[in-house]
Amino acid sequence: MKVDAPASSTFVQSPPQVNGSSSKGKSRAATVRDEENEEEDVEMSEDFAPGNDADYFMEEDDEGRFFGGGLTNEQKTILSIFEKAGGEGTLEDPDQLSITSVRRMLLRFERAVDKNQDQRSKYPDDPTKFIDSEADVDSSVKSLLSLAQEPILAYPELVKSGAVLKLIGLMSHENADIMIDVVQLLHELVDEDAGAENEDEEDDSERREAAIKLLIDALLENSILELLVDNLMRLNETEESDRQGVFDIMGIFESILGINPELSQHLVSKTTILPWLLKRIEAKVHDGNRVYAAEILSILLDNKPNKLELGKADGVETTLKVLSQYRRRNPTDADEEEFMENVFDSLSAALTEPEIKKQLLDAEGVDLMVLMMKDKKKSAAQCIKVLDFAMSGPAGTACCEMFVEALGLKTLFSAFMGTSSKKNNNPSSAMSDATAHILGVLSSLFTNLPSESSPRMRLLAKFVENTYEKVDRLLDLREGAAARLASIDREIDQERAQMREDNEEIGAVEEDRWYLRRLEGGLYTLQTVDYVLAWICMEDDGARAHAEQMLKRKGHTLADVATVLKVFRDNVDEDDSTAEGAEDASPPQKEILGGLIAYLEGS
Are 393 and 589 spatial neighbours (Cβ–Cβ below 8 Å)?
A: no
Q: What share of the chain is helix, strand, coil (3-state, %, to 5)?
A: 70, 0, 25
Cα–Cα dist 186/74, whole Å:
39
DSSP string computed for 43-109: HHHHHHSGGG-TTTTSPP-TTS-----S--HHHHHHHHHHHHHT-TTPPP-GGG--HHHHHHHHHHH
Positions of the chain with pLDDT under 50: 1-51, 53-69, 78-79, 81-92, 94, 420-431, 577-585
What local confidence, expressed as pLDDT, does residue 575 receive?
A: 55
Residue 282: strand, helix, or coil: coil
Question: Phi, psi (5° rounding) for residue 266?
Answer: -65, -45
What local confidence, expressed as pLDDT, does residue 419 receive?
A: 57
Cα–Cα dist 434/9, whole Å:
84
Question: Phi, psi (5° rounding) for residue 32?
Answer: -95, 130
Q: What is the 3-state secondary structure (H, E, C) of 118-187?
A: HHHHHCCCCHHHCHHHHHHHHHHHHHHHHHHHCHHHHHHHHHHCCHHHHHHHHCCCCCHHHHHHHHHHHH
Residue 594: strand, helix, or coil: helix
Cα–Cα dist 450/194, whole Å:
56
Residue 251: strand, helix, or coil: helix
Cα–Cα dist 446/218, whole Å:
52
> Tell me, what amino acid is at 489?
D
Cα–Cα dist 82/137, whole Å:
20
pTM: 0.78
User: CA dihedral in degrees (498, 504, 506, 509; nearest 10)?
Assistant: -110
DSSP string computed for 288-324: HHHHHHHHHHHHH-SSHHHHHHHHHTTHHHHHHHHHG
What local confidence, expressed as pLDDT, does residue 97 receive?
A: 77
Burial of 299 (0-12, 13-18, 19+ CB in 10 A): buried
What are the pLDDT digits (tens) for 416-467?
Answer: 988 544 444 443 334 478 899 999 999 999 999 998 899 999 999 999 998 9
What local confidence, expressed as pLDDT, does residue 39 receive?
A: 45
> Tell me, what amino acid is at 352?
T
CA–centroid distance for 508 within its chain: 33
| Helices and strands per DSSP (H, E), number in the chain | 29, 2
What local confidence, expressed as pLDDT, does residue 265 receive?
A: 94
DSSP string computed for 170-239: HTT-SSHHHHHHHHHHHHHHH-TTTTGGG--SHHHHHHHHHHHHHHHHHHHHTTHHHHHHHHHHH--TTS
Cα–Cα dist 106/100, whole Å:
10
What local confidence, expressed as pLDDT, does residue 130 receive?
A: 76
Burial of 42 (0-12, 13-18, 19+ CB in 10 A): exposed
Are 505 and 545 spatial neighbours (Cβ–Cβ below 8 Å)?
A: no
Q: Classify the phi-psi angles of 22: left when phi > 0, otherwise alpha if psi is within -120 to 50, otherwise beta.
A: beta
What local confidence, expressed as pLDDT, does residue 124 receive?
A: 75
What are the pLDDT digits (tens) for 344-373?
Answer: 999 999 999 999 999 999 999 999 999 999
> Tell me, what amino acid is at 177?
D
What local confidence, expressed as pLDDT, does residue 108 receive?
A: 92
